[in-house]
Amino acid sequence: MNTSVEEEELPLPVKNVTNDSSSTNSPFIYKISPEKLLIPKTGHLDVSLKPTNKENSQYYLIMLDSYLFEIVDPRGRKQTITQLFGLSKAGEEIKFKIRFRDAERSTPGLTHYDYDKPAEGSISIRHWKTEDDHESENVWKWRFAKSKIVWRMDGPGGELKLDLLMENEDDEEVKKRKKAFEDELKIMKDKKIQAGKAEKTKGDTEDNTKEKTADKTQENSKTTEEKPEKKVSEKVPEKVPEKVPEKVPEEVPKKAPEKSKKSQAKSVKDPKPNPERSVIQTSKYPNSEYENMDPNVHIPVGADKTPPDKKMETQRTPMKESKKSNTAKKKNPCCSIL
């Protein structure tokens, strides 16, 4: 009736109760054979479930949780758990096999293992009735063919829980497996204890933090009550930004008026040599000896820069003035008498 399938993940097992066939909903309607499940070291143990009530079809779920044993060709497998489930027609017998784990699965792991169970473990068989055959076929196609996982019983039904026993307890391989189980179980229990301690320490730390926070809040509230209320300070009028004075345009310096010809003549008659004036005058005499002179040539300060032709004019001028003064002296009789 049952065929092997791919390995599936299963839910955590329900804690087993030794040899308990009672149910809060309805009685267990199957008779198990053999009643004592003693599994040999080699080969397998055949188990059958015969229904005592042949009126209704039944859904069934068989879950074996053991470190040493497994169901042959299970529909689901996860670590220490192997599982069978399906639909049993009215009056139909359910058959399956249990064996000692092969070497490939000798250490299944204890991540989801019940720490109170021995290495042999236990088996749980559950069943619940269907409403009608038509519904049963639809549920079979949807629930078992697609999901391939049974998480819970969907209606009232019965349940049987039995311990599994080892037939060859003195076998060296059996002793070796049990020793490995005990070592792994100890590691798991230590981890569980450490996790519990860490959780407790975390809880204590959180409680201490909450207490400190509460005390600090209370102290802050007391300090706030003791402090006098601060007077609301008057608002200081905002400063109006001063206007930046506009920049007055700078006056352009006026050009000095050009000197008249008379002033230029006076400067020419001036007997005192003026270096700056003489330089300007030289440019007005094209036929002088300074006409072709290099402007970069340095002329010593105080040197007579008057052109040669003009020197004659400056020499003649005082002579005329002296003649006039002499004639004036001769005409004044007063002066002649004196």
Domains assigned to the chain:
30-169 (2.60.40.10)
pTM of the model: 0.51
pLDDT level of residue 58 (50, 70, 90 thresholds): confident
* Strand intervals (E) in the chain: 30-33, 38-39, 44-51, 58-65, 69-71, 76-78, 81-88, 94-100, 122-129, 157-163, 165-166
**106 contact partners, CB below 8 Å, separation of at least 6:** 177, 180
Strand 122-129, strand 157-163: pairing: antiparallel
Let me know the angle formed at the C-alpha of 258 by 252 and 259, rounded to the nearest 5 degrees. 145
pLDDT at 253 over 90: no
User: Is residue 6 scored above 50 in pLDDT?
Assistant: no
> Residue 70 above 80 pLDDT?
yes
Q: Tell me, what amino acid is at 255?
A: K
Q: How confident is the model over 291-312, as pLDDT tens digits?
A: 555 555 555 556 565 665 555 5
Average pLDDT in the chain: 70
172 pLDDT above the threshold of 90: yes
pLDDT at position 17: 35
Sign of CA dihedral 198, 203, 206, 207: negative
Tracing tokens 């005499």 back to the chain, one arrives at 285
Q: Which tokens go with 148?
A: 């391939």
Average confidence (pLDDT) over 209-238: 65
Measured over the CA atoms of residue 164, residue 170, residue 174 and residue 179, the dihedral's sign is: positive
Distance CA 153, CA 257 (A): 125
Alpha-carbon distance of 214 to 219, in angstroms, equals: 9
* Cross-strand bridge partners of residue 77: 82
Task: Provide the pLDDT for residue 21.
Answer: 44
**Model confidence at 40, in pLDDT bands (50, 70, 90)?**
very high
pLDDT class of 230 with cuts at 50, 70, 90: low
Q: What pLDDT is stored for residue 262 in this prediction?
A: 52
Give residue for tokens 């004196």. Answer: 338
What is the model's pLDDT at position 249? 63
Q: Give the Cβ contact number of residue 144 at 10 Å.
A: 17
